[in-house]
Amino acid sequence: MSSTNSSSESDGKFSTKKIIEKDSFTWTIEKFSYCELIKNKTTKSPLFTSKRNGTIKWSLNMFPKEVCSYDEDRIIFWLELEKADCIELTALFSFYFLNADGEKKHKKVMNIMKLNKTKRRCFCHRFLEHDFLLSADNNELLPNGDLIVGCEIFHFHDAINTDDFSTNNSINESLNVLLNDIAVMCESPKFSDCVIKVGDSKISVHKFILVSRSEVFNSILTDKQYESNLNIIEINGFRLEIVKEMITYLYTGKSPNIYKMAIEMLQIGEKYKLQRLKLIAEESLIHSLYIGNACDYLLFSELYSAETLQKWCLRFIYFNVEKVINTEKWKVVVSDYPLLVAKLFNIAAKNNNTAKWPLLLYPKEGIINNESFISLELLLEEVDCIELTVLCSFYVLNEYVEKKT
């Protein structure tokens, strides 16, 4: 039995997984006072380098007046992508202030954005009123007279692939002509040798396109048990418009109507193992994510093995946890999908800097009156939650940094 691998779905050149990276940093504006607010100029932070990708650099900026409205008594902050060795970056941001105890205050979560060479800034409009910031009752935001601004970012990006994209315009033009010619085949039954049947409707297609683009269609068209009727493939469970959109993708590599039917394209992409189509659908859903559909999208990601969408939904919920956990949809997640809840707790644990755990050592075991043993106590001194359930282990490191006892 022969087998043909897809050039864009199965040969490994296209990554169907997005690495979601996290950056966080704080900017201290020293000796912040009313003088900073009456200045009619931008204050800019030093550059911050991404932890995992050294080519990505950020800066924070402050302007004392809201220039996009009449609220001249409010500060505006923005995050700027100063440098990035990528074509486009999708990001989710939150801004906040740190008080004297290092607690996040006045946190503001921004909408999901795409950043590129022409769009590098994420604005946080109407962040905080001047009077509130300088009020005597709110000096907790100015420890020692310093204003500490924080920013937390989740992002993923597509790196420039020099193997797949040429800087030669004539080569790119020829490639576009070829792709357009193949796309014309999708609209014409000429020389077609197969029919996809959806209910009473029939769509003429070409076997070599199906076989080269989908391992599922490849299996159907090369399996001996289907030899008696290889010219007709029935697709059930999907609307005609969805199947047509999938066929358009198979011929062109594009899904022009994905924003109208992203969930169904995710479903059909999963069924026919079209990983790149799934990723296109995932990215479309990511950019339509908001509080009201976050739990729905999280469940879809679990049902259709959409890893990138799931990671993004969990991080979106982490940023907006107070608004999400009180919804009825979140109760369904908690009761039916405990592993998703565990993943969210894992993200929160990695990013929660409010918990402080001093380790206490006593030279004598006082509880059981055994003075030949020392006693250790782990004390939860401060945490931004009501209750924690924990499992602890204690150990001693030897000279080889090995855990003992």
- Taking only the tens place, the pLDDT of each residue in 265-282 is 999 999 999 999 999 999
Q: Cβ(77)–Cβ(62) under 8 Å?
A: yes
At residue 161, the pLDDT reads 35
Contact 32, 62 (CB under 8 A): no
Q: Which residues pair with 256 in a beta bridge?
A: none
CA angle 392, 398, 402 (to 5 degrees): 60
Of 152, 27, 26, 23, residue with least CA distance to 95: 152
Model pLDDT, residue 241? 96
For the ranges 98-112, 223-237, 277-291, 372-386, which has the lowest average pLDDT? 372-386
The answer to whether 340 and 117 are in contact (CB under 8 A) is: no
Dihedral sign, Cα of residue 166, residue 167, residue 171, residue 173: positive
Question: Where in the chain do CATH 2.60.210.10 domains reside?
Answer: 21-159
Confidence check: pLDDT of 262 > 70: yes
Is residue 186 over pLDDT 90?
Answer: no
For tokens 């159907």, name the residue.
220
Residue 145 confidence class, pLDDT cut points 50, 70, 90: confident
CA distance 212 to 215: 8
Dihedrals phi, psi of 241, to nearest 5 degrees: -60, -35
Identify the CATH number of the domain defined by range 21-159: 2.60.210.10
Phi, psi of 32 (to 5 degrees): -70, 135
Q: What is the pLDDT of residue 370?
A: 55
Q: Does 360 have pLDDT greater than 70?
A: no
pLDDT of the residue at 160: 39
Is pLDDT of 197 > 60? yes
